[in-house]
């Protein structure tokens, strides 16, 4: 019977380890752990289950630490997992059954990342192989053994298999804000060091762009895209790999650097022949065409997304292009087709926020609040209630001025105490409903974690005629955008006393927002046209 060495590197994983150790029962024969500086109960938990632990100082290099664990392994096979990963019972059975198959030398595992709103991202990752001293990890972050495993497989004439059992990766989902921020800074430091060593390390460029998107860091996104484009300028580099992530990297670069849709399209057109066709690439170009009202071109690219294999993110070839086609159908006035696209999207994920708000909106357009409530009731019966459904109901009600409905739905979506984007929208619904004091108090609480709530606090203070003095961590353009959003809500409410109070008191902040007089005039003129 072949023996399996489970190799890990850890640091301060005491919170993750109890569930992890439960999940791997019956999987390993030898547990090899390299600890890079834990200060919590990590090592005590591992020793209690019989792990062999060696301590090694962190050297800003994941491969170096992992190779130390490989050197200590004595089993016939090596499996690498992290404390935030949870192999399914099916995967454990598949691994144990595989160990005595003499034709197999390595295997991939289906790693499943849980994204917000019920979406998934799945990848087949090389984590299991017959132990061989020639197999070593490479790259200081996003480390890989692919090259050396491939060489050993060829030498020993053994094959690679793809296991279908899943392994859930929890990632940032269970980290608190400070832990996640610390992990982000560490990863960014290592990625930056990687491209300093080799500025044609395209995969590290891609991962920095992904970091910028994940954290909504527009400055990092723009600067990274600008540097990447400078390196890709001129004759296309011969070493740009034929890999799915290359097309997604170019799509991220286009979105990060070029604000004009026409520039994004020109950039993507130039690179289209050089990269593997992937949904992310065509989805970006389709959206840019849509923004330019080039609907035939947008339809072609949305459909191309649907025709491509789903890759690691199925929603990019299903839900996102279906909703793009929905918008195009609505532009043509074909509401029947638009509604059909929405329901196809919901079939893939009943919790998708964009699909839900579209479905709520179409129901309301077709039959008012009665049809909207009928859709909501049916959806709950089929799929259960969810925060996303409440958010969709509240968002739609907020946009069409059904203030009481918006307050009820967004109260459910925001939770107790109210939090996040739903909490911010609840404050807007309260303002539209005339609950100015309640909206002000809510924004005051939200400001601690959501700086843009400060503009809601300011708007409510001006309506109430209260002088305020506070600071928020917002750039001027972000503050301008957020304040305009609150003013639009107030003007849509058509509550003349509140609007007049705001007009009376806005000079208190006129120096900070010199655009206010013209903006208020423009919004008032728009309202007059609607009323007449």
| Model confidence at 388: pLDDT above 80 | yes
Write down the mean pLDDT value for the chain: 94
Strands 104-114 and 85-87 come out as: unpaired
> Which fold is adopted by the domain 4-174?
Spore Coat Polysaccharide Biosynthesis Protein SpsA; Chain A (3.90.550)
What pLDDT does residue 300 have? 98
Across the range 471-491, mean pLDDT stands at: 93
Q: How confident is the model at residue 317 (pLDDT cuts 50, 70, 90)?
A: very high
CB-count burial class (<10 Å; 0-12, 13-18, 19+) for 105: buried
Question: Distance between CA 68 and CA 34 in Å, rounded?
Answer: 7
Strands 77-80 and 85-87 come out as: unpaired
* H or E segment to which residue 130 belongs: strand 120-130
Across the range 490-519, mean pLDDT stands at: 95
Question: Distance between CA 312 and CA 214 in Å, rounded?
Answer: 16
Count how many Cα atoms sit within 13 Å of the Cα of residue 68 in the half-sphere of its side chain. Answer: 19
**Global confidence as pTM:** 0.85
- Per-residue pLDDT of 152-182, as tens digits, reads 999 999 999 999 999 999 875 555 555 677 8
- Per-residue pLDDT of 514-531, as tens digits, reads 999 999 999 999 998 888
Percent of the chain residues topping a pLDDT of 70 = 98
DSSP-derived letter for residue 138 is B
- By C-alpha distance, which of 283, 351, 299, 287 is closest to 116? 351
Question: Distance between CA 342 and CA 361 in Å, rounded?
Answer: 11
- Per-residue pLDDT of 62-92, as tens digits, reads 999 999 999 999 999 999 999 999 999 999 9
Least confident of 199-203, 293-297, 299-303: 199-203
Question: Distance between CA 25 and CA 93 in Å, rounded?
Answer: 11
Higher pLDDT, 528 or 20: 20
What pLDDT does residue 178 have? 54
* Strand ranges of the sheet holding 4-10, from the earlier edge strand across to the other edge: 52-55, 30-35, 4-10, 77-80, 120-130, 104-114, 159-169, 85-87
- Per-residue pLDDT of 82-136, as tens digits, reads 999 999 999 999 999 999 999 999 999 999 998 888 888 889 999 999 999 999 9
């Amino acid at each position: 019977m072949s023996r399996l060495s489970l190799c890990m590197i850890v640091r301060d994983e005491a919170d993750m380890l109890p569930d992890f150790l439960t999940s791997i029962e019956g999987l390993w024969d030898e547990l090899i752990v390299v600890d890079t500086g834990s200060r919590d109960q990590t090592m005590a938990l591992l020793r209690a289950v019989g792990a062999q632990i060696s301590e090694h100082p962190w050297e800003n290099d994941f491969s170096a630490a992992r190779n130390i664990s490989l050197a200590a392994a004595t089993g016939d096979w090596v499996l690498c997992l992290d404390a935030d990963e949870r192999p399914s019972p099916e995967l454990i059975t598949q691994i144990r059954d595989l160990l005595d198959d003499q034709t197999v030398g390595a295997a991939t595992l289906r790693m499943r990342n849980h994204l917000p709103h019920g979406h998934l991202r799945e990848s087949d990752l090389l984590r299991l192989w017959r132990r061989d001293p020639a197999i070593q990890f490479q790259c200081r972050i996003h480390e890989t053994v692919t090259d050396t495993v491939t060489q050993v497989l060829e030498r020993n004439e053994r094959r690679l298999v793809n296991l279908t059992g899943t392994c859930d990766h929890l990632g940032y989902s269970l980290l608190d804000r400070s832990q996640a921020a610390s992990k982000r800074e560490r990863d960014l430091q290592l990625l930056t060091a990687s491209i300093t060593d080799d500025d044609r390390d395209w995969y590290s460029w891609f991962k920095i762009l992904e970091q910028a998107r994940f954290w909504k860091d527009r400055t990092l996104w723009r600067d990274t895209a600008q540097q990447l484009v400078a390196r890709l300028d001129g004759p296309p580099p011969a070493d740009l790999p034929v890999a799915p992530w290359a097309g997604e990297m170019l799509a991220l670069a286009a979105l990060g650097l070029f604000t004009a849709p026409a520039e994004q399209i020109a950039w993507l057109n130039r690179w289209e022949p050089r990269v593997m066709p992937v949904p992310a690439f065509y989805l970006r170009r389709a959206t840019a065409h849509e923004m330019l009202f080039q609907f035939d071109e947008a339809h072609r690219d949305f459909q191309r997304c649907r025709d491509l294999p789903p890759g690691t993110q199925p929603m990019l070839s299903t839900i996102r292009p279906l909703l793009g086609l929905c918008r195009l159908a609505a532009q043509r006035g074909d509401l029947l087709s638009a509604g059909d696209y929405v329901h196809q999207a919901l079939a893939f994920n009943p919790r998708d926020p964009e699909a839900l708000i579209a479905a709520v909106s179409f129901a309301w357009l077709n039959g008012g609040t009665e049809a909207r409530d009928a859709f909501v009731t049916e959806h709950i019966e089929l799929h259960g209630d969810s925060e996303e459904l409440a958010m969709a109901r509240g968002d739609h009600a907020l946009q069409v001025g059904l203030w009481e409905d918006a307050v009820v739905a967004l109260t459910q979506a925001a939770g107790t105490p109210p939090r996040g984007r739903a909490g911010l929208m609840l404050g807007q619904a309260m303002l539209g409903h005339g609950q100015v004091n309640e909206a002000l108090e809510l924004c005051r609480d939200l400001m601690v974690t959501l700086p843009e709530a400060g503009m809601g606090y300011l708007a409510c203070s001006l309506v109430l005629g209260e002088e305020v003095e506070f600071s928020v961590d917002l750039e001027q353009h972000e503050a301008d955008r957020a304040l305009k959003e609150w003013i639009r809500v107030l003007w849509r409410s058509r509550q003349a006393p509140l609007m007049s109070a705001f007009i009376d008191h806005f000079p208190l902040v006129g120096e900070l927002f010199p655009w206010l007089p013209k903006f208020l005039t423009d919004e008032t003129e728009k309202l007059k046209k609607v009323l007449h």
